[in-house]
Amino acid sequence: MKAREIMTPRPEVVTPQDPISRAAEIMRDRDVGLVPVVRDTKSMMLEGVITDRDVAVRHVAERHTNDCSVASHMSRDRIHAVDESDDVATVLSTMERGEVRRVPVTDGGGKLVGIIAQADIATSDGIPKAQVGEVVGRVSEKK
């Protein structure tokens, strides 16, 4: 099974110039904990991610009073993405190695095409549930 078969295609995105409140709105409205950050919505080139933890720890806890840009709080150097043609074993190992619960999916050239969350894997047919449970457990205990 390939990443493209289990990913959620065309996730909502923000750009580095968007206000952090836009990322928080997407998280609230879509009930997600990560929003991919793309260079622009035309190219969809993945630049980073912003998580609910980034918003809480880097914005709220640091008592920023203005609506900073996404660029001020996004993660650029800790992006754990997979290629749409990667198999599920690669997706699981990427999640485990990066200690992340969600991974962006690119087309091989850096263009964002989807996102995979642990829930996508857990609800997919054809993936051994024991394997999913082991990875979820290891990622969760490290957080």
- Confidence band of 59 (pLDDT split at 50, 70, 90): confident
In CATH, 3-142 is 3.10.580.10: yes
Position 7, amino acid:
M
Taking only the tens place, the pLDDT of each residue in 115-139 is 999 888 887 776 666 655 665 565 6
Task: Give the whole-angstrom CA distance, residue 44 versus residue 7.
Answer: 16
| pLDDT reading at 20 higher than 70 | yes
Q: What is the pLDDT of residue 67?
A: 77
Q: Are strands 102-106 and 46-51 parallel, antiparallel or unpaired?
A: unpaired
Residue spans of the domains in the chain: they are 3-142
Which pTM does this prediction carry?
0.84
Nearest CA-CA partner of 93 in 140, 124, 131: 131
